[in-house]
Structure 1
């Protein structure tokens, strides 16, 4: 395929990522309006975000299997159409349960789309060509945190939250037409490929049960309640059953236990879970702090979220250069330090804290958070056996997404529990301070495993 056509395909792939990437950040900014309009508590509404991220993780192993069994072009097209249909369902939802179920379908299709983009790109040419095109394809991922909150705020300010989902529909229709027109056929590479259905079920059900147990603590205003204890124990039991299943299946399990023999892989997976928590958790409560704690409009909230997105955007283009100069380990440690610099002060923000100071804090946080995950994903394959690389990547994506889902549930629980137990006027602000405190503690916890990361990316 000539370079001009490959660039066209890369642009279509980037356009195909646009709706899933913007959808997440736009939904975050609208969570307060959704909660109000549907008459639901934060503890219930956070499942709109949590269910989406969990479904994304469950879909990741299916993506590789589908592209092996079937024509990748039509798998990608089908995932786009399902995402569009789920967006319509979300927009038409009149109660929180319907919206959560719609978001499960939407998240699952997004979980297929993201890895498929990489698979299609890698089938187009040499590693050098793929690297040259990667910046085009990754553009929606880079700009999503910047423009998502602002676009979402404009939509809700001058319309309503339903249009956050309606806007996906024309994008999906245009992308689908371009896929049919411009993307070449990508025949399946292994039509007899099998998938570890039981392993996926055990991992998905175990993590969901654990996260649901945590979220119930928010509703009961205490972690010491029967629902939290029962669901958490069931979740742990299912994950232990998966451990036994993985030992039996060995290399054919969706996540082979042999991967964890590598100290680098184990440390990286642990930190990817925590990175998901410190990224998604604060992203849920920052808009609420601005809207409920400071009384800002949704548009003002979107604009004040801009510095964090700018920080995330500015750090990404220089990460590879930094890793080559300093080594993966030190880039992650520096990023964690910046994350702490941008999170510790949030434990002390009040209604009168200067917004320009908060902007500087969020910019530092964006630089830090933006520099944590990519170096770890780069180093995770160091010393890995070639036959385990695909499953190692699947495991990394699954656990990162699980951490993100857990982060949303955790901070929602911390805020809801505090508000139910404290009724004084400043309880809103103090509840957010406590939630940011948890983010700080988890960021500190990441430092020791980060010391096990390789010094270089070689």
Structure 2
């Protein structure tokens, strides 16, 4: 059979073995996820360059990042229904095409308004890529191999805030600002070609519920309004009345969606009952807090290294690289061999314990030597790798195959919203402390006490995860 007609699912006699083709397919799908996740952070490094190029303030250019995130959050809830209706591979390929079209348009932008508009198009494709790719991978791998595959790809979303600033700084050192977006074109085209060859076609569901239009009109705008409010609160030129209004409107829309989803006799766009069923509830809580901690930390540290220690954006990116190295090594050398043999609770609790231990030095930044900072980041990366993969494995092996797209879109939302809340909350706290004192290191150290509190909360929540290894 050709790649286009192969059916999805583990082959007979290979249900417990990860073959070369499955591994190659996972790397192709994770390439799309990495491309979309990286783009949400890579542009932040070029904000000042873009402001000079377009003759606008940094606040105006900031809308390029905000528009992308709003589109991502609005698109992610629709990924589950689209995958059921048209097939996951077809939706994934279409999402890459939309993302590339948006990237090319952004590179040709002539003003901040056009750039923000094109970032919406790019963000819509980027919002569909991670949940669709993960659901497709879990479906093809089957429950017996999902854990080990997720140990390879699950760390990718956590690497984006680490490598984004470094990649952006590198591009701006050697190329024009447009390459912040053009770099996606060759990567995306290669991913599409390899996907057509390697990724089997997953047929659309035989029975697909009608699109939850009411839910979409409540959930996507509600999430976008909440994210806008959080982003505005965390910005330097915040507008408190607008931010509070957005948060109130978003909270009202999300409350209305929750009522609609629980009362509807049809499948809602995102089923909140998926998130409340044990052990999925504890798993989702762990992922939410982990996202808030990781994205919050990667917001604080680059700012501290540049404002507190006088490093350039490039040098700050290099300083953060050990966290990415630790995440990769932890995923391949620790999580992958253990994920099917050790209880999820053991892995996740150990991961949070490492993160807690590695966060404590950040509460004393004033006297922290560079060597200890590097070591703490490496340990933190290893700990981070021990959270995402087991959590996703719990979810993907705990729901029916036909619900995988819905569960995947819910996980993506948890990751996005957790990261936004963590970043916005820490930004406000940091702004308040910097206004009250001239001691930059002390202000950042106090913000990291909050990060430490988030990690302790997640550690306590992870104790509710399953105590039995998946193989049993």
Flag whether TM exceeds 0.5 (same fold). Answer: yes
Matched, 1:338 2:350: no
Could you say what the CA RMSD is over the residues aligned between the two structures, in angstroms?
3.8
Q: Which residue of 2 aligns with 1:448?
A: 460
1:362-441 mapped onto 2 (5 Å cutoff): 362-380=377-395, 390-419=405-434, 421-422=435-436, 424=438, 426-427=439-440, 429-441=441-453
The aligned length equals: 452
Q: Which residue of 2 aligns with 1:20?
A: 36
Q: Which residue of 2 aligns with 1:268?
A: 283
SS of the counterpart of 2:310?
Answer: coil
SS of the counterpart of 2:391?
Answer: helix
* Distance in 2 between residues matched to 1:167 and 1:88, nearest whole Å: 9
Q: Which residue of 1 aligns with 2:12?
A: none
1:180 CA displacement:
5.6
Q: How has the CA–CA distance of structure 1 residues 54 and 267 changed in structure 2, closer, same or farther, with 3 Å as cutoff?
A: farther
TM-score where L is the length of structure 2: 0.80
1:241 CA displacement:
0.8
1:305-344 mapped onto 2 (5 Å cutoff): 305-317=320-332, 318-324=334-340, 326-344=342-360
Query: What per-residue deviation string (whole Å, max 9, x for no partner) do you get for residues 56-103 of structure 1?
Result: 343334333333333655433322221112112333446655544433
Q: How has the CA–CA distance of structure 1 residues 91 and 295 changed in structure 2, closer, same or farther, with 3 Å as cutoff?
A: farther
> Do the aligned partners of 1:222 and 1:417 also contact (CA within 8 Å) in 2?
no
Q: Which runs of 5+ in 1 are unaligned?
A: none
Query: What per-residue deviation string (whole Å, max 9, x for no partner) do you get for residues 336-361 of structure 1?
Result: 122122223223213x7422121111
Q: Which residue of 1 aligns with 2:250?
A: 235
Query: What per-residue deviation string (whole Å, max 9, x for no partner) do you get for residues 230-285 of structure 1?
Result: 33222222221112101221561123343355242223223322222112122233
Matched, 1:196 2:212: yes
* Distance in 2 between residues matched to 1:239 and 1:85, nearest whole Å: 31
Q: Which residue of 1 aligns with 2:223?
A: 207
> Do the aligned partners of 1:49 and 1:405 also contact (CA within 8 Å) in 2?
no
> Do the aligned partners of 1:250 and 1:257 also contact (CA within 8 Å) in 2?
no
1:292 CA displacement:
2.9
Q: Which runs of 5+ in 2 are unaligned?
A: 3-18
Matched, 1:258 2:273: yes
- After TM superposition, the structure 1 stretch with the greater mean CA deviation from structure 2, 48-57 or 72-81, is 48-57
TM-score where L is the length of structure 1: 0.82
Q: Which residue of 1 aligns with 2:375?
A: 360
Q: Which residue of 2 aligns with 1:302?
A: 317
* Distance in 1 between residues matched to 2:309 and 2:431, nearest whole Å: 18
* Distance in 2 between residues matched to 1:89 and 1:290, nearest whole Å: 33
* Distance in 2 between residues matched to 1:295 and 1:282, nearest whole Å: 18
Q: How has the CA–CA distance of structure 1 residues 125 and 211 changed in structure 2, closer, same or farther, with 3 Å as cutoff?
A: closer
* Distance in 2 between residues matched to 1:135 and 1:454, nearest whole Å: 17
* Distance in 1 between residues matched to 2:148 and 2:305, nearest whole Å: 39
* Distance in 2 between residues matched to 1:166 and 1:453, nearest whole Å: 42
> Do the aligned partners of 1:40 and 1:96 also contact (CA within 8 Å) in 2?
no
> Do the aligned partners of 2:81 and 2:405 also contact (CA within 8 Å) in 1?
no
Matched, 1:112 2:124: no
1:174 CA displacement:
3.7
